[in-house]
Amino acid sequence: MKNAEAIEKRRTFGIIAHPDAGKTTLTEKLLLFGGAIQTAGAVKNNKIKKSATSDFMEIEKQRGISVATSVMAFEYGGKQVNILDTPGHKDFAEDTYRTLTAVDSVILVIDCANGVEEQTEKLMEVCRMRKTPVIIFVNKMDREGKDSFTLLDELEEKLDIKVRPLTWPIGMGDRFKGVYNIYDENINLFQANKTKISTDIASISDINSTELDELVGEAPAAELREELEMIEGVYDAFDRDRYLSGEVAPVFFGSAVNNFGVKELLDTFIRISPSPIGRESDTRFIEPSDSKFSGFVFKIHANLDPKHRDRIAFLRIVSGKFERNTFYQHVRLDKKFKFPNPTSFMAQDKSVIDEAFPGDVIGLYDTGNFKIGDTLTEGEKMMFKGIPSFSPEIFQELENLDPMKSKQLEKGIRQLTDEGVAQMFVQQPGNRKIVGTVGQLQFEVIAHRLEHEYGASCRFVPKNYFKACWITTENPEQLNQFLQAKTGNIAKDKDDNFVFLAETPFLLQMAERDYPDLTFHKTSEFKLEV
């Protein structure tokens, strides 16, 4: 397959939402309609001992939340669809923000009862900043919720983006009959079916046909016609260019759990969404059509399969063609590596691939050579920009509860912090490990994974630190003075950089004033610039 043809065929997008909006359920239904799975697992339903296809970590299955990004690929309508399902929980927002660097567009899931929630606004800010095209799916229309026009106003006001409905619900809650497809001017009525694609579909091409009244009833049919007239009067006609530039968000309505409205979303998505787009590097803008291969690591996951203790780096291909068993330049390490078993994903099911193209996300088995943000090329010395890293907000000391398992604990915490969900700082004397995260739930996940994946039991003891600051200087004498004066607040990160663990904003200001030749960096981004 030629590169240009392969690029045009691909659609790589992320699904984002506030927790419980139904994001993982929607992901699963897209896979169902895409033929990637035959029957959907009932999410969070204890009667059926299955979990959502994209939730593969044990703690995700127990708690019914997604805490790691999973990647899934399938073919639909002549396109290769690559979905990146992200954590909704705010404690894992860092993983979601990084995933947004690897996608070309986004589907944002909204709960029709709760509308726009705080986490949704934050995620949308990142999309706006990057001018990422966004499609909105208003979910759970089979339950009572906010009036659809009220929801559209709320979306525009709180998300600071123009909207344009491309489907419209017929009723809501108990009166919900299906959706009218404004984009294609037809109507599909489904029987609620939670596990399989319904075959009982009525298609009506003329909205004024009496057949509509017979199928949904005279009052709902009249209401639908009236609302569609209002939409055409209030909202501009859909403009794909404005959607691609991030100015307008098309809106779809449905119920993911019952398969209402999902097919309309998927059918329209593959027609209007962007094919892979290029990325900015520290030397130039890299177009997907560039003939030379390049890509960047946006996520690392240890123990995707706990039986095999594997560690996988997720690589987004930006340009050229990736080929198995070919040597590529690891820019940061200035070394060449080849990959005999690159994989594509269907949740935790992996298959070895021979080649991959721009837009694809592949897994590279890693023995510890990769960090988040690393760039692979065919030889060009450049690094992709814009992979965010966050300063921790909560600090806790890791205490080993089983001295016989010290090696396992050491290996486990190093691998898990390499994934980017937390940062680790080591204090001397005593090799004390301080773990910093942006959310409390991450400590639960780390403790659970250390026990179940590495056989190491531990506990976390809260520490009263305000901020971790990386120290750089041209004045080694002043640095030594500072290290001696602040011994109890000095640690090293896993790359042996000095870090000042400041207990209060005031003490940080005092340090900056008293040691003017030292620079206190609030994130570890400075390491990429060195």
Give the pLDDT score at 60: 46
Please state which CATH class domain 3-272 belongs to. alpha beta
3-272 against 279-377: fold identical: yes
394-529 CATH choice from 3.30.360.10, 2.30.30.40, 3.30.70.3280, 3.10.330.10? 3.30.70.3280
The band of 175, judged by pLDDT with boundaries at 50, 70 and 90, is confident
Distance separating alpha carbons of residues 133 and 414, to the nearest angstrom? 36
Distance separating alpha carbons of residues 177 and 168, to the nearest angstrom? 11
409 φ, ψ to 5°?
-65, -45
Cβ-count burial 228-242 (b if 16+ within 10 Å, e if not): beebeeebeebeeee
Topology at the third CATH level for domain 279-377: Rossmann fold (3.40.50)
- Residue-wise pLDDT for 401-458, tens only, equals 888 888 989 888 887 787 776 889 999 888 899 998 877 777 887 888 888 888 888 9
Residue-averaged pLDDT of the chain: 83
Give the pLDDT score at 94: 65
- Residue-wise pLDDT for 59-92, tens only, equals 444 544 333 446 788 889 999 999 887 764 454 4
Phi-psi region of 261 (alpha: psi -120 to 50; beta: other; left: phi over 0): left
Give the pLDDT score at 352: 84
Cis bond before residue 476 (omega within 30° of 0): no
Q: Which two tokens stand for residue 367?
A: 């023995």
- Of the ranges 249-263, 265-279, 307-321, 328-342, which one carries the lowest mean pLDDT score? 307-321
More confident residue, 118 or 439: 118
Mean pLDDT on 7-33: 87
CA torsion through residues 47, 48, 53, 58, sign = positive
Please state the domain extents for the chain.
3-272, 279-377, 394-529
Crossing angle (nearest 10°) for helices 148-159 and 118-130 = 60
Give the pLDDT score at 243: 97
